[in-house]
Amino acid sequence: MFEFNHTVLMAMGLIFLGSFVQSAIGFGLAVVAAPLLFIVSPEYIPAPIVMVALFNSLFNAYKYRNNIAIGGLKMAIYGRVPGSIAGGILLLFVSSSILSLWLGGMVLLAVLISLLPVRFEPTPKRMAIAGFFSGFMGTSSSIGGPPMALILQHQDASSLRGNLAAFFVFSSTMSLIVLYFIDYLTWQHFIMTLPLLPMGWLGYVTAQIVVKYVSKQWIRIFTLVLCSASGLAAIIRAFS
């Protein structure tokens, strides 16, 4: 059984923050929380945070269920399967320091993607490519949102949140299956995740309240600053 020590409390706080961001803008739970969670305890990456992402995505998918276009996500889901397997293979060969560097790099890449002024139309080929890289990044580092967010970012807010949440329900499940077969998802990981789930729900509820009073642009700026600091912290840890 788990005990509420300072490590667990720090992890709960980070999950609350990440869940708030994901519920407010459509993605960001792992981008915000994963690098700092890795510093708190590497055991939280990737399986526990992927389980929280699944939990959080179920709430968002239900809330925005009328805005989900499953047909448009089909090619991304096809690409997600081999991407998840490739991400699992990567985990078998990297050390803790390399994983920390990988996490930090993925977060900074996510920030860069968010700042790009280019517009990518969600063609079937691009959706499949985004799905592959989402699977590769999501299974190996728990950070699978940026490739899909880049392709779908110009949808209206409700469609963006709904389609990303629906995709994350499938993709998180796929990642957990791969992680189970490579022994990165164990009963201990499940126990570690239990105290994090209420914070995932609380972050979701808080976001529903806050987004009524704070503009999406301010939340985005806050998220980018937080992610940049989080990513740099993970990279510094890799070299320490």
Residue 183 tokens read as 């022994």
pTM: 0.86
Q: Residue 90 contacts by C-beta under 8 Å, 6 or more apart in sequence? A: 136, 140
Q: How do residues 42-55 score in pLDDT, each as one tens digit?
A: 899 899 999 999 99
DSSP-derived letter for residue 121 is: -
Task: Give yes or no for residue 84 having a pLDDT over 60.
Answer: yes
Lowest mean pLDDT: which of 17-21, 163-167, 225-229?
225-229
Please give the distance of CA 100 from its chain centroid, rounded to a whole number: 16
Q: Residue 28 contacts by C-beta under 8 Å, 6 or more apart in sequence? A: 18, 21, 22, 145, 223, 227
Euclidean distance between CA atoms 233 and 8, whole angstroms: 19
DSSP-derived letter for residue 183 is: T
Most confident of 16-20, 69-73, 99-103, 105-109: 16-20
**What confidence tier does 3 reach under pLDDT thresholds 50, 70, 90?**
low
Task: Give yes or no for residue 2 having a pLDDT over 60.
Answer: no
What's the chain's length in residues?
Answer: 240
Q: How do residues 199-222 score in pLDDT, each as one tens digit?
A: 999 998 998 888 777 776 776 777
CB 27 within 8 A of CB 165: no
Q: Residue 58 contacts by C-beta under 8 Å, 6 or more apart in sequence? A: 165, 169
Secondary structure element (H or E) that encloses residue 239, with its range: helix 216-239
Cβ count near 70 (within 10 Å): 11
